[in-house]
Structure 1
Amino acid sequence: MDRRLKKYQNMRRLCALAIRQRGLRGQTIIRDEDSNAAWAAVRDHVSREATVFADKHGNYNDLAGLNELQRVNHSKSNQTDDGTNTNQVESFFSRVQRAYVGIHHRFSLKYFDWYMAELAWREDCRQVSNRSHTFQVLGKTLSRPTSHYLCEYWQGNKPPGLIWEV
């Protein structure tokens, strides 16, 4: 059973799509792993000269029209004979699994996007010291105006679904 297919998804299980740039920090997370979302993410966030590496899932077939596409069949091997792999994004998903088990114990589906955004930030900053993390968070927090989504949150003000599209 492929849990990425819509017929097997419910609000108890969600899929996330991650795009990771090799060699540089940078990550984009979107909620759905369907062909339209994948195509839009690559169109909006990936240079046309870049090569996209993906697994053999059918939702990525249309990406060949946008960029050069190399595929890895995970049912046979973790990489192809020429060394093509998806290790960078698999590393992120491994950290998501560990966070689910070890840090959060579960993800509230209502805030699934928030968890993914926070874990993407952790992945991007994993080689930075705690001191730098603190200054980065404080700097961004103090340089932004008051959030209309988090202001009076404890009094029932509900945040939006996707925080990075606001």
Structure 2
Amino acid sequence: MSDEEAHDAFRLIRWSETQGAPVCPKCDCSAVYTYQTRKLYKCKACAHQFSVTSGAIFASRKLPIRDYLLAIAIFVNGAKGHSALQLSRDLDCQYKSAYVMAHKIREAIGAPVESGTVAGEVEIDGAYFGGYVKPANEKENRRDRRKTPNGKRRVVVTMRERDGITLRYVFDAEHQAVPTIAAKVQPGSTIYADEASSWDVLRARFLTKRINHQEAYSTPEACTNMAESFFSRIRRAEIGIHHHIAGPYLSAYSREMAWREDNRRISNGEQYLMATEAALKHPVSRQWKGYWQRSVA
């Protein structure tokens, strides 16, 4: 794809409501001037100059437009995710550029469901990810690493609507998710959960069906298999792709896996269009714009 073709593709996807006609991101005016020497537009109403990526998550870009289209195509093609190191090799760019680009895509694709709620039959569960405790060399010094706190391991709590969307949030402990569950699950819903004591208080608000995983993983009355499927995707991504997910970024990776899990049945082409449209309509990222230019913890 040439630069001109990539620019036209971006323009048609971003301004699909106007059949590709540019619209000012500042005042939403559709009357614009088009520069002939540069791929820029100027609003007739407010005189604001903008490009096809202005005001979107790829604003202030440095790479060619076609590299961003290629990055999205490569990103959505991975069933278990795509590492920033591999993406930098595919695009022949610096690791830092690929790292921020991948996180911008994660932010954009997960944004549409962030403010949503779930209803009907909802599965609730939590799983711990991140952190690493190095095993001791000698046998007598070894500990159960699953029960050894290291300050980095956090829990992802999911609210997965059967035949619907997946909401996920990151907490330090499962019981901290109860207020969020009460706010995000609509009244009248049926909650399916395991035997964890953290979910006992949900019986006061919802019809709750429980399953004891110490006795069975699934029964005709209750199961949390869809929530476990979501956690399995994160686990495979952590083990096979990223190898390490730091606590502060666990929310971003779980957001990506929720999107992949919800859209696993649609074609790669549709996923590509969805991700590109989400990236071009998402506002500038306050977390990832200028990420390497400031102090990063």
TM superposition score normalised by structure 1 = 0.82
Could you give the per-residue CA deviations for residues 36-59 of structure 1, whole angstroms, max 9, x where no partner exists?
Answer: 41x223222212111100000000
Aligned partners of 1:149 and 1:157 also within 8 Å: no
Q: Does 1:120 align with 2:252?
A: no
Unaligned runs of 5+ in 2: 1-126, 129-146
Q: Does 1:19 align with 2:151?
A: no
Map 1:40-59 → 2, pairs under 5 A: 40-59=179-198
Aligned partners of 1:18 and 1:89 also within 8 Å: yes
What letter is aligned with 1:148? Answer: R
Q: Does 1:109 align with 2:243?
A: no
Q: State the Cα distance separating 1:10 from its structure 2 match.
A: 3.3
Counterpart in the other structure of 2:93: none
CA distance in 1, matches of 2:148, 2:240: 26
Alignment RMSD? 2.1
Q: State the Cα distance separating 1:158 from its structure 2 match.
A: 5.1
Unaligned runs of 5+ in 1: 160-166
CA distance in 2, matches of 1:130, 1:94: 21
CA distance in 1, matches of 2:270, 2:198: 38
Counterpart in the other structure of 1:60: 199
Q: State the Cα distance separating 1:110 from its structure 2 match.
A: 2.4
CA distance in 1, matches of 2:161, 2:217: 18
Higher RCO (CA < 8 A, seq sep 6+): 2
Cα separation, partners in 2 of 1:68 and 1:109, compared to 1, 3 Å: same
Q: Does 1:141 align with 2:279?
A: yes
Aligned partners of 1:149 and 1:158 also within 8 Å: no
Identical columns (%): 30
CA distance in 2, matches of 1:110, 1:36: 17
CA distance in 1, matches of 2:263, 2:212: 29
How many residues are matched?
152
Q: Which has the larger radius of gyration?
A: 2
Match for residue 215 of structure 2 among 76, 92, 95:
76
CA distance in 2, matches of 1:148, 1:84: 41
TM superposition score normalised by structure 2 = 0.48
Instruction: State which drifts further: 65-74 or 130-139.
Output: 130-139
What letter is aligned with 1:62? Answer: V
